[in-house]
Copies of this chain bind each other. A is one copy, B any other.
C-alpha cells in the first residue's frame, strides 16, 4: 500500500504528468435506491405497496487532458443495468455501456471543439450530473423532453458581456438517433444550440442546491433549441421508432427549453419549461392511413425551490406538470414532490429521500412514490 496526497471526493486516482503531457482523474460512483410505490384510486384508495431495491447508477469515469492541457478528454461508463439501457438492432445488439467518449479541443481563445459522444447542449436538469441533484432523481419534464447524449460535434464558447455578465454559447450537430447508435443514420441530423446568460457572474449553475451558500445572488438563464431533421422517433431522438408499411415515418421535430437557476445564501430555485413540436405529429403509412404512432408534442414545466440549513440538511419542494397537445392526449399529469437531503460530504456522500404525489386527470389512477437513496462518489 502506498500513501497518496489525493483526498476523498477528488477521484480514486488523480494525477498529472511532471512534463504536463497528460493528466487523469479516475472516478467511481454508485447510487443505492429503495423505492415504494402505491397506486391510488378514488374507489379503493391506496393500493398495495410495491417496493424494490435497485442499483440505480454505478459509473466509472476517466477525464483529464492529453498531449496538451488544451486537449481534454472524458470517458464515462454506465455499469448498472438500469443505467445502461438495453441492446437493440440499432446498437448492434449490445448494451449502451458508454455514456461519454469525447475529446474537447481548445483550438482558439475560448472556443472549444468537442468530438465524440456526450450530452447535447440541452436543458439544465439534464446538464446537471445525476450525481449533483437536490432530489433523488430528475423531474418528469426531463424524462419527457430531454435529448440526452449523442455522437457528433459541438462548438462551445464564452463571451464576457461587460462587468460580471457572462454569456455561454454552444451549438452542435449530431446523429439525431440518440446515444450509442451503430446503425446507419436514419433521416437527417440533429442541430442544437444553447445560450446561457449569467448576469451576476459565474457560479456552479449546473448543480442542485446552494451548497456553497453564495454570498451574493447568482442567476443563470438558459435557452436551448433543437431541430431534428426527418426524425423517426416519437420523442425526437428517443421514445419509440415510428414504423410504417414502407420503413420509418420521418418528420421534422423541434424541441425548445427555457430554464433558470438562482442561488443565494443556501436558497436555490430552479425552473424549466420544455416544448416539443413536429411538422406532422401523426405517423402515416404510404396510403395516408394512421400507423398509431404519434410524436409526443406538448409542454412540460418544472419548478423547484430548496433551502440548505447550516447542518447540511436541505429541504426541497417541487412542482411538475406535463401537458401533451390535446390532439395527442387529453391527459394532464401534475406531480408534487417533497425532498430532504443530508449532505455528509456535499454531493460526494449523501442520503436523499423524497415523496411524490402524482395527480392524474380523467379519473386515471394517481400514485404515491417514496424513495430513499444513498450516493457515494469517489
Hey, which bits of chain A sit against chain B, CB under 8 A?
A: 1-10, 12-19, 21-26, 28, 30, 32, 37, 50-55, 58, 62, 66-67, 71, 73, 75, 77, 79-82, 84-88, 91-98, 101-103, 115-117, 150-153, 174-175, 180-182, 184-185, 189, 344-345, 348-349, 374, 376, 378
Assuming the contacts A6-B2, A79-B77, asked whether A185 and B17 have C-beta atoms less than 8 A apart, the reply is: no
A3-B15, A3-B16 known; 8 new pairs, CB 8 Å cut-off, are A4-B17, A5-B18, A12-B26, A58-B75, A58-B101, A82-B92, A84-B92, A116-B374
Q: How many copies, total?
A: 3
Whole-angstrom distance between the alpha carbons of A180 and B339 in the complex?
27
A93 touches which of B53, B86, B92, B103 (Cβ 8 Å):
B86
Q: From residue A186, how far is it (CB to closest CB) to chain B in Å?
A: 9
**A-B residue pairs, 10 tightest by C-beta:** A86-B93, A8-B21, A53-B151, A8-B22, A52-B185, A94-B95, A32-B116, A84-B94, A4-B15, A81-B94
Contact partners of A87 in chain B: CB under 8 A: 86-87, 93-95
Chain B contacts for A32, CB-based, 8 A = 101-103, 115-116, 151
Is the beta-carbon distance between A16 and B30 smaller than 8 angstroms? no
Give the residues in chain B near A37, CB-CB below 8 Å: 184
**Residue pair A58, B98 in contact (C-beta under 8 Å):** yes
